[in-house]
Structure 1
């Protein structure tokens, strides 16, 4: 029961952070949605900072597993890059953007332990994407200028920027796809 309650708290908190941001939710908001008292939330997570730090660590693990799955897939290097982009596309139907991108928008007000975890996340996805791009370079399918690492950083910025712009659109997913996929297909061909 306790693990189930903690999971519900984390799920609701994640949805709130991904749609509202760090500063726009409280334990009172969570207690209403989960149907428990605020004291029960404090039992599982002593403070909001502890809760958000747990969220980021869980999100890191989830994205790492997805990146590993993509890297080990039988897809072509171009298809793998598209699969990576799809990680950013997936939450848009529910008006959710990348948890750590949302937290980065509030970076100056985050406590240092959460800042540290957000930075770990960005290094993690940069490493994952760098590896995926290097696969295409090694197969002589594309060239990355000035380096694979720079291309990875630029692609992450594109994906997160596209998420933000898509949020203001009537059809978020279509808007994201119109911004991202033509550029991906031009630079990192699927075939």
Structure 2
């Protein structure tokens, strides 16, 4: 991946996390990166290709981070809670896939499938950690909900309260 490609993905991720799928354009991303919009189109021919690539990269990084914590001996639910907490504190934003999922019916299929992949992998990884499917869904829903509520109330402590029952 080139530096320009990474910068484009970084910009698009920040914009999606703060304003959603409809809240960014190639022109916005180009301005952030310091290139022409045609350069963004060169790397990603369509908005849905860019958004799908952002969601894919986000999912891969998120899952890798959770897997590393679990490998280091952190219990699976705590690992998921830790990674969500870190994302909230570091970025002060919604989970990228949670933000996109809120408008999933308005997304291009390619983007929707990548967002769906995040949730399916999350459930699968939680199940690999010993939870049944229903419990895995409850954990993921609680974490996304706690993050959403903390974001709208602009209060990180709400995440702790909202996800405390998982600890």
Aligned residues: 166
What residue number does 1:167 align with? 151
Shift of residue 67 of structure 1? 2.7
Q: 1:116 is matched with which residue: 107, 113, 116? A: 113
Give the greater-gyration-radius structure (CA). Answer: 1
Structure 2 length-normalised TM = 0.91
**How far, CA to CA, are the matches of 2:148 and 2:55 in structure 1?**
19
Q: Secondary structure at the match of 1:8?
A: helix
Residue of structure 2 equivalent to 1:62: 61
Q: Deviation at 1:91?
A: 2.5
Partner of 1:41: 40
Structure 2, unaligned runs of 5 or more: none
2:159 corresponds, among 167, 172, 176, to 176
Asked if 1 retains the 8 angstrom alpha-carbon contact of 2:49 and 2:110, the reply is no
Render the CA deviation track for 1:55-74: whole Å, top value 9, x for unaligned. Answer: 11112211221232122122
User: 1:28-177, aligned counterparts within 5 Å?
Assistant: 28-75=27-74, 77=75, 80-93=76-89, 94-132=91-129, 134=130, 148-171=132-155, 173-177=156-160
Does structure 2 retain, via aligned residues, the 8 Å contact 1:45–1:51? yes
TM-score (norm 1): 0.81
Separation of aligned partners in 2, 1:10 and 1:73: 29
Q: What is the CA distance between 1:180 and its match in structure 2?
A: 1.0
Could you list the runs of 5+ residues in structure 1 that have no partner in the other structure? 135-143, 186-191
Please say which of residues 121-130 and 85-94 is displaced more in the overlay: 85-94
The 5 A counterparts of 1:14-33 are 14-33=13-32
| Root-mean-square deviation (Å) | 1.6
For the 8 Å contact 1:130–1:149, the answer to whether it is kept is yes
- Distance in 1 (CA, whole Å) between partners of 2:79 and 2:7 is 28
Contact 2:48 2:108 (C-alpha < 8 Å) held by counterparts: yes
Q: Which moved more, 1:152-161 or 1:66-75?
A: 66-75
Following TM superposition, by how much is the alpha carbon of 1:116 offset from its aligned partner in structure 2, in angstroms?
1.5
Q: Corresponding residue for 2:11?
A: 12
Which has the higher relative contact order, 1 or 2, with Cα contacts under 8 A spaced 6 or more apart? 1
